[in-house]
Chains A and B, each alone.
Chain A
Amino acid sequence: MSRARKLALVAGLTLLWLQLLFTVQAEERLKVVATFSIIGDFAQQVGGERIELHTIVGPNADAHVYEPRPADAMALARADVVLTNGLMFEGFLTRLIEASGTTGKTIALTEGADILRDPEGGHYHFYGDHAVFHEAPFDPHAWQSVANAKVYVENIASAFCEADENGCPLYTQNAIAYLAILDDLHKEVGQAIAAIPEGRRVAVVSHHAFRYFEDEYGVVFLAPQGLSTEAEATAADVASLIDGIREQRAAGVFAENISNPRLVEQIADEAGLTLGGTLYSDALSAPDGPASTYVELMRHNATTLSRVLASD
C-alpha cells in the first residue's frame, strides 16, 4: 500500500470514528427512572425526547404492593435521575435502591407539596398505665390534586436541569407549557365537581387514594381500605363503611383501576347502589385506555364522578 493511500485510509477511518463518536454523544440521553406510571408521564412531558425513561410500576398496576424485578434494579443502576413519589408510597423503593447500588440522584417529588396526614392513622400503644401515641402517617397520593401535580412537575424540571445543564432550556420550556395545561385542568376539574349538587358529593372507592382530591375539589370519599392496598379490609371495616354510606348518603360506588372490583361490588350491593364505573387512582390506564396520561386521568375521574354523583 502506498503511503498516500495509507494516509487517506487513516484519515477516512478517523473521520468515521469522529462521526460515530458524535452520533453516540448526540444520542446519549438523560437516563431517568420513574417509580410509577403517573410520574412517568410527568417526566415524559418535561423531558420529551431528551430523556430515556424506564417506568417501574406500569399502567393499571399497584405500586403499594409492587414487587420489583431484577430488570428494575438494573435500570436504576444505570439511571442519572430517579423520580419517586416518596412518603412511603413505594414500599419497595429503599431496598431496590440499595440492591441497585445506583449513583443516580433520587428525588422525592412530593417535596414542597401540600401534604396531608391520614386522618384515621394515629394509634395508641398501651403499656400498663402508659399510652404511647404514634402520629398518623403521611398520605402519599398527592398527585390527586392538580395543584400538587404542578409541584411534581417543577421538581422534575429542576432535577433534570441539575443533571443535564445543556437540556435545561428545553426542560424549562416544556415544563412551563405543561404547567399551563395543568392550570386549565385544575379549573376544569373544579368546574366538573362544582356541577354536582352539594348534597351528593360523597363517593365510595376501595382505598383512600382520593383525600387530596377531596381536600382540593370537595368530594368526600369513603373507603374500606386505608392509605395502602396492602392490608385487606376486615368485615368490621366493611360494616362500618356501610353505616357511613347510609349516614353520609353516598351517591356512587366506584372501582379503582389498580384493584380487584370484587370488594366494592359487594359493598355497592349491600348499600343498594350500582357500581358507577372506574376511577384511576394510583396508575394510568394502558395507552389505549381512557386515562393514558395524567391530564386524561384527572379529566376522566372528574367527569365520571360528576356524571354518576349528579344523576339519580
Chain B
Amino acid sequence: MGRKPLSLTISLLVAGLASGSAQAHDDEATAWRLFIADHSEPVVHVFDAVEGKPLASFDIHGPASLYRSHNGEAVFAVQGSSDVVTAMATGIAFHDHGDHADIEIGEPRLTGTEIEGEYPVHFVEHQGHWAAFFDKEGVARIFRERDALAGSVEIREVDAGVPHHGVVVPYGDYDLVSEPHPEDPSNLPIGIRVQDRDGNQVGDLAECPDLHGEAATGNLMAFACATGLLIVRSSEGEPAIEHLPYADTLPEGKATTLVGGRGLQYFLGNYGPSSVVLIDPSEEEAFRLIQLPTRRVHFAVDPIRARYAYVFTEDGQLHQLDVLGGEITQSLRLTGPYSMDGHWRDPRPRVTVAGESVVVTDPLEGKLHLVDAASFEKTGELEVEDTPFSIVAVGGTGVVHDHDHGHGHDHDHDHDHDHDHDHDHDHDHDHSH
C-alpha cells in the first residue's frame, strides 16, 4: 500500500471547505476528497477536502494525469512515460435509492489493478467502461470500472491499426475508434470510425481532421476537430455521429481540449491561446467565444453550481465563467505568473471543484489554493510536498444511518444529489508539430 503522509502540512485553516461540511440534517454526511498527482514524482496524495487534512499517499510508477470516474468511486493515474494506468478506490460511494442516496465512506486505496501498455494518454469512460489508448501500440485496452475496483480486470483490446495519438470510446455494443492519418500517423487522426464487437466498421468514417480532445455531457459525447465538433448521440442504442462545424463568426482556430457541462448540457473547449468557447449543440448559434485577458492555462466546469465554469490564465488569475451569460463574471489573482511560453508539459496550475471550494494547484509554490465557490474569495491554502499538478475531486452528500434509530426516516425532504463528477481531462497538450 501507499506510504504514510509525512511531510504534508496545513498552513491555514480551511474555512471554505469546513463550512461545506455543515450537516444540514443529522442523518446526512458530506465527504470530499482531493487526489493530487505530482509533476515529476511517482506519487498521488489524497486529502480530506472537508477537514483540509492529508489522508493517504500512494506510490505509483511515474508522474500521472488523474481521471475520476463518473460515479466518483474510482480515480485512475495515467502514467504515460511509465507505461501504466493505476486504479485507486476513492473510498466514497453512493447508492441511489430514487428519492435519496446513501453515502458509504471508507479508506482510499490502491485496488491492485494496473493496465499496462506503451504510452497511455487518452483515457475515456463511457457508462462504467474505460478505454486507455496506448499511443505507441495504437491499441486501446478496455475494462470495467467495477472490476478495476475489485482488483481484477478482464481486458478487451481494440486495435486502431497503427501507433498514433489516438482514442477509443467504448460505446455500448460498439467502439468509437480514431482513424490514424493515412500518410503520416504521427499527425493527429483524421476521423472516427464506429466498429462492432468483431472489429467490423459500421457506416462511413466520420471525418474529423486533427482529431484531439473528447468529452461527455449528459447523453452527448463530442470530439474536437479542426473543422468543428463531432457530436455523438445514442440512437436506439447505436452511436449516431453528426458534424457540427465551427460558426463563421468564430475567428480562425480550433478546439483541442473539451470538457462537458454537469447539470447543464454543454461543452467548454479551448479555442486559440487566449479564449474559450461554450458549445451548445442544440442551439441555432451553437458557439459562444469568450475572450480571456491573457493566455489560458486550464479550465474546469463546476459540477455543483451548474451555471459556472472556471478558467485559469497565465497571469495567475482564476476566472469565474457564467455559462448562461457567456461571460467572465469574477476574477481572482491566486498565483504568480505561469507563462504559457515553454513546453506544454511544464508544471502549471490545474483547477477542480470540491464541494463548496474551487481548488487550484500551484506547482511551483507546492500548494493548493482554496476559493469559496459562492463568494469567490480565497479561503485557504493546503501545502503539498514537491510540485502538485494534476488534481481531481470526488465526493458529495448522502444519507448515513445512525444505528441508534432502528426505524424508517422521513425522506420527504430533498437530499442533495451533488455526488457528480467533473471529468478532469487535463492534458491540454499542444499538437503544433
In angstroms, Cα B253 to Cα A180, docked, is: 59
Seen from chain A, the residues whose Cβ lies within 8 Å of a Cβ on chain B are 65, 67-74, 77, 88, 91-92, 94-96, 98-101, 118, 121, 123, 125, 127-128, 130-135, 137-138, 226-228, 231, 260, 262
Option from A74, A123, A127 in Cβ contact (under 8 Å) with B403? A127
**A135 nearest CB neighbor, chain B only:** B408
- Whether A99 contacts B408 by the Cβ 8 Å rule is no
Complex: A134 Cα to B410 Cα, angstroms: 8
The complex places the Cα of A105 from the Cα of B102 at a distance, in Å, of: 31
Interface residue B237 (Cβ < 8 Å from any Cβ of A): yes
Query: Which of A71, A99, A118 makes the CB contact (< 8 A) with B306?
Result: A99
B98 lies within 8 A of A226 (CB):
yes
| Residues on A with beta carbons closer than 8 Å to the beta carbon of B219 | 65, 67
Q: List which B26-46 residues lie within 8 A (CB) of chain A.
A: none
Known contacts A121-B98, A132-B407, A227-B98, A95 near B306 by CB under 8 Å: yes
Residue B307 CB within 8 A of the other chain = yes
**Pairwise interchain contact B306-A69, C-beta atoms closer than 8 A:** no
CB-based contact A71/B283 at 8 Å = yes
- Min CB distance B376 to A, Å, is 15
Q: How far is the CB of B264 from chain A (nearest CB, A)?
A: 6
- Measured in the bound complex, the distance between the Cα atoms of B99 and A118 in whole Å is 11
Residues of A within 8 Å of B410, CB to CB, are 135
Contacts of B418 in A (CB 8 A): 95
Query: CB within 8 A of B237: which of A65, A72, A262?
Result: A262
**Given A121-B98, A134-B409, A228-B98; A68-B403 close (CB under 8 Å):** no
Taking a contact as CB atoms under 8 Å apart, the answer to whether A132 and B218 are in contact is no
Across the interface, A100 reaches (CB within 8 A) one of B97, B237, B261, B324, namely B324
Which A-chain residue is minimally distant from B235 (CB atoms)? A260
Q: In this assembly, does B263 line the interface, its C-beta being within 8 Å of a C-beta of chain A?
A: yes
Partner pick for B408 among A65, A71, A133, A231, CB 8 A cutoff: A133
Q: Does B406 contact A (CB under 8 A)?
A: yes
Contacts of A72 in B (CB 8 A): 264
Complex contacts, A138 vs chain B, CB 8 Å: 99
B305 CB-CB contact with A under 8 Å: yes
**Chain A residue, CB-CB nearest to B306:** A99
For the complex, is B100 an interface residue (Cβ under 8 Å from A)?
Answer: yes
Is B306's CB under 8 angstroms from A127's CB? no
CA distance A251 to B283 in the complex (A): 44
A137 (CB) vs chain B CBs: closest residue: B99
* Interface check B341, CB cutoff 8 A: no
- Min Cβ gap A282→B in Å is 15
**Known A132-B407, A133-B407, A138-B99; further 17 A-B contacts with Cβ < 8 A:** A67-B220, A69-B265, A69-B266, A70-B324, A71-B283, A73-B306, A77-B324, A118-B98, A123-B97, A127-B403, A130-B401, A132-B406, A134-B411, A135-B410, A135-B411, A228-B98, A260-B237
Residues of B within 8 A of A134 (CB): 97, 100, 408-409, 411
Across the A-B interface, the 7 shortest Cβ-Cβ residue pairs: A67-B218, A137-B99, A67-B265, A99-B307, A99-B306, A133-B408, A95-B263
Is B98's CB under 8 angstroms from A70's CB? Answer: no
Give A125's nearest chain B residue, CB to CB.
B401
Residues in B62-103 with C-beta less than 8 Å from chain A: 96-100, 102
* Overall SS of chain B's interface: loop
B403 CB, min distance to chain A CBs, angstroms: 5
A70-B280, A99-B305 known; A125+B264 contact, CB < 8 A = no
What's the least CB distance linking A102 to chain B, in Å?
11
In the bound complex, how far is the Cα of B409 from the Cα of A135, in angstroms?
7
What are 22 sample pairs from A and B whose C-beta atoms fall under 8 A apart? A65-B219, A67-B265, A68-B263, A69-B283, A70-B323, A70-B324, A73-B307, A74-B324, A92-B263, A94-B414, A98-B305, A99-B264, A99-B324, A100-B307, A132-B405, A133-B407, A134-B97, A134-B408, A134-B411, A137-B98, A260-B237, A262-B236
CB of B278 within 8 Å of the partner chain: yes
Known: A69-B266, A88-B99. A132 touches B408 (CB 8 A): yes
> Using a CB-CB cutoff of 8 Å, which residues 289-328 of chain B contact chain A?
305-307, 323-324
Q: Which residues of chain B are within 8 angstroms of A77 by Cβ–Cβ distance?
A: 324
**Nearest CB to that of A227 among chain B residues?**
B98
Cβ of B217 within 8 Å of any chain A Cβ, yes or no, is yes
- Report the minimum CB–CB distance from A235 to chain B (whole Å): 16
Docked Cα-Cα span, A76 to B411, in Å, equals 27
| B192 shortest CB reach to chain A, Å | 22
Q: Using an 8 Å CB-CB cutoff, how does the interface string of B44-59 with A read, 1 for contact, 0 for none?
A: 0000000000000000
Report Cα–Cα, A99/B266, bound state, in Å. 13
Complex Cα distance, B304 from A96, in Å, reads 10
CB <8 Å contact, A73 and B324: yes
B263: contacting residue among A71, A96, A227, CB under 8 A: A96
Per the bound structure, the CA–CA distance linking A130 and B236 in Å amounts to 44
Q: Is A68 a contact of B324 with CB atoms below 8 Å? A: no
Q: With the chains together, A252 CA to B21 CA distance in Å?
A: 51
Q: Which residues of B contact A228 (CB under 8 A)?
A: 98
Taking CB as reference atom, which chain A residue is nearest B279?
A70
Determine the distance from Cα of A137 to Cα of B98 in the docked complex, in whole angstroms: 7
